[in-house]
Amino acid sequence: MSKTVAVILAGSGVYDGSEINEVVLTLLALEEQGVEYQCFAPDIDQAHVVNHLSGDEQNQTRNVLQEAARIVRGNVKDVAKLQVQDHAALIMIGGFGVAKNLSSFAFKGQDFDILPCIKKIMKAFTDSGKPSGYMCIAPVLLPSVFDGVKCTIGKDVDIASVITTLGGKHVECAVDEITFDEKYRIVTTPAYMLAENIKQAKLGIDKLVTRVCLLSDAI
């Protein structure tokens, strides 16, 4: 049996978790490639809960792992159980959960911290020579882990500035394009940093998934 692709989620919902359309499009693209996957998320409380109708913060507590399970019909494991040797590649989905639950970027800007278990996993895949894909806001984490990494979040000037300030090389990119860093074997695409609808988001995500799969031994 081929090794699976590990997919990292950060909850459920664009404003406080994983971007749901990006999750579904990524998993669909993997299935269309004939590649198996396993989703993971940290077993922690969300930074906060946002009402996705109003955008207002709610006085609630929700668990990142349990919320991620809503998207993938329960097929998600605690990221603490992720063993790099069991997987051919890594993909991190976007959404503000990356900036709020997997890191503190939404609250601290360029002085953000990354959840230690997430940072360890990011580094472990690259150290093992395995490819990774990061979409939407997720690439902002990369330069704090990989010195001089080439990546894209699309055309957002402020976030691109954070990437360059942290030592990364930001490449302006259209919604249907990907950027590839050969040294670290990392693929990035803007997804909903630029996408105005599901069809647009699918274009770059499909290319990212295809490149990651081709670089891996998942197929």
State the Cα–Cα distance between residues 86 and 77, nearest whole angstrom.
Answer: 14
pLDDT tens, position by position, 41-71: 999 999 999 999 999 999 999 999 999 999 9
Give the model's pLDDT for residue 79: 98
Summarize the confidence of residues 133-159 as an average pLDDT. 97
Give the model's pLDDT for residue 217: 72
Question: 12-46 as b/e, with b when 16 or more CB fall inside 10 Å?
Answer: bbbbbbbbbbbbbbbbebbeebebbbbbbbbbbeb
Q: Quote the Cα angle for 207-212-213, to 5°.
A: 100
Task: Judge contact between 141 and 134, C-beta under 8 A.
Answer: yes
Residues shown for the chain: 219
Give the model's pLDDT for residue 167: 97
Give the model's pLDDT for residue 131: 98
Give the model's pLDDT for residue 218: 59
Give the model's pLDDT for residue 3: 82
- Going from N- to C-terminal start, the domains of the chain cover 4-215
State the Cα–Cα distance between residues 78 and 191, nearest whole angstrom.
Answer: 25
Q: Nearest Cα to 94, choosing from 45, 156, 34?
A: 156
pLDDT tens, position by position, 4-54: 999 999 999 999 999 999 999 999 999 999 999 999 999 999 999 999 999
Determine the distance from the C-alpha atom of residue 172 to the mean position of all C-alpha atoms in its chain, rounded to a whole number.
18
Mean pLDDT, the chain, integer: 96
Q: Is the pLDDT of residue 1 over 60?
A: no
If one counts every other C-beta atom within 10 angstroms of the C-beta of residue 211, the result is 17
Q: Which CATH architecture has domain 4-215?
A: 3-Layer(aba) Sandwich (3.40)
Given the structure tokens 């998942």, which residue do they identify? 218
Q: Which pTM value belongs to this model?
A: 0.96
Active site residue 136: yes
Active-site residue identified among 136, 151, 173, 213: 136
Summarize the confidence of residues 151-166 as an average pLDDT. 97
Summarize the confidence of residues 195-207 as an average pLDDT. 98
pLDDT tens, position by position, 107-137: 999 999 999 999 999 999 999 999 999 999 9
Q: Nearest Cα to 118, choosing from 89, 141, 146, 94?
A: 141
Confidence band for 182, pLDDT divided at 50, 70 and 90: very high
